[in-house]
């Protein structure tokens, strides 16, 4: 019994991490306001890797790390395209992934937005001349926003989302 009451009055076990990224915080709160006005609370993102080297995925995963914790601004990553408002597509689309990307796109309910993430997804990048890719993401599905970078850093992705929300508002 004593242990139980003791737990009630003890300090929280979690530690506070000092967030030093003031840019991210600023863009985050702006994004939250935009999401609230366009989507009424939150947006759901489905990520699809179509030919990336995984660096973009690492940065996207970092968005959920304690330093960024993008979920507090109303952005969630979901497991199925059927739950998604936005598709994050990375990498130049390989021939082996083209069909899967199309199917994922078709499974996402409209209205939907596609964001191409990273140089390869935007232009084909260094893989432009390869036999194994069919081109940038826009050669397979319609792209609404491009976020270039090798790979883009978390703050660039949140800036991109902000642009996308502004775009969604005017469309």
Partner 1 sequence: MADSCKPTMIANNGVMDHEFRLAENDTDFGERIEYLKRSGYVLLCLFCREDYATRDLFRLTYIFESQENRHIYEMEYGTSCNAVSIAELFPTASLYEREITDGFGIPFSGSFDTRRLILHAAYPKDFHPLKKSFRNGPVNVREYVPEEELYKFRRLEGKGVYEVAVGPVHAGVIEPGHFRFSVIGEAIFNLETRLYYLHRGIEKLAEGKKPAECLKIAESISGDESVANSVCFCLAAEKIAGIRPSLRAETLRGIALEMERICSLLSDCAGMLTDVAYPVGASRFMALKEECMRMNKKLFGHRFIRGYITIGGVSADIGSTDLLLLESFADRIGESVKEAYDSAVTSSSVIDRLATTGIVRQSLIRPLNLTGPVARSSGGRRDVRTDYPYGIYNHHTPEIPSHDTGDVLSRFMQKAEEIQASARFIKSITGEMPAGEIKTSGTDIHDGCAFAMVEGARGQNLHYLEIRDGKIWRYKVRTASFTNWLSIEHAVIGNIVPDFPVINKSLNLSYAGNDL
Residue 153, C-beta contacts closer than 8 angstroms, at least 6 positions apart: 59
Which of 28, 74, 91, 136 touches partner 1 (CB under 8 A)? 91
Q: Which is nearer to partner 1, 37 or 80 (CB)?
A: 80
The token pair at 64 is 């959920």
3-state secondary structure of 43: strand
Q: Which is nearer to partner 1, 3 or 40 (CB)?
A: 3
The answer to whether residues 149 and 118 touch, using CB atoms and an 8 Å cutoff, is: yes
Give phi and psi for 50, each to the nearest 5: -115, 10
Q: How far is CA 59 from CA 21, 87, 140, 151, 153, in A?
A: 15, 16, 24, 7, 6
State the pairing for strand pair 93-94/133-135.
antiparallel
Q: Which is nearer to partner 1, 71 or 169 (CB)?
A: 71
CB of 17 to partner 1, least distance (A): 6
Q: Give the interface segment with partner 1, choosing from 2-10, 45-53, 108-116, 159-167 (CB under 8 A).
A: 45-53
Burial class (CB in 10 A: 0-12, 13-18, 19+), 25: middle
Q: Give the interface segment with partner 1, choosing from 3-11, 34-42, 52-60, 156-164 (CB under 8 A).
A: 52-60
Q: Which is nearer to partner 1, 26 or 99 (CB)?
A: 99
- The answer to the question of residue 54 lying near partner 1 (CB under 8 A) is yes
The token pair at 155 is 């703050």
- The answer to the question of residue 83 lying near partner 1 (CB under 8 A) is no
Q: Which of residues 119-158 bind partner 1 (CB under 8 A)?
A: 126-127, 129-134, 150-151, 153
Interface with partner 1 (CB under 8 A): 13-14, 17, 47-62, 64-68, 77, 79-81, 91-92, 94-100, 104, 126-127, 129-134, 150-151, 153
């Amino acid at each position: 019994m004593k242990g139980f009451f003791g737990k009630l009055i003890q300090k929280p076990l979690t530690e506070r991490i000092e967030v030093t990224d003031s840019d991210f915080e600023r863009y985050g709160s702006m994004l939250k306001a935009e999401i609230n006005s366009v989507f009424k609370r939150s947006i759901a993102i489905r990520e699809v890797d179509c030919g990336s080297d995984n660096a973009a995925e690492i940065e996207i995963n970092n968005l959920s790390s304690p330093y960024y914790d993008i979920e507090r601004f109303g952005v969630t990553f979901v497991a199925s395209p059927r739950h998604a408002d936005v598709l994050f597509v990375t990498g130049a689309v390989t021939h082996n992934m083209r069909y899967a990307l199309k199917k994922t796109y078709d499974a996402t309910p409209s209205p939907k937005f596609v964001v191409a993430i990273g140089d390869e997804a935007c232009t084909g990048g260094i893989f432009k001349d390869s036999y194994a890719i069919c081109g940038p993401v826009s050669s397979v599905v319609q792209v609404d926003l491009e976020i270039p970078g090798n790979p883009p850093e978390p703050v660039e992705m949140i800036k991109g989302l902000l642009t996308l929300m502004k775009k969604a508002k005017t469309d």
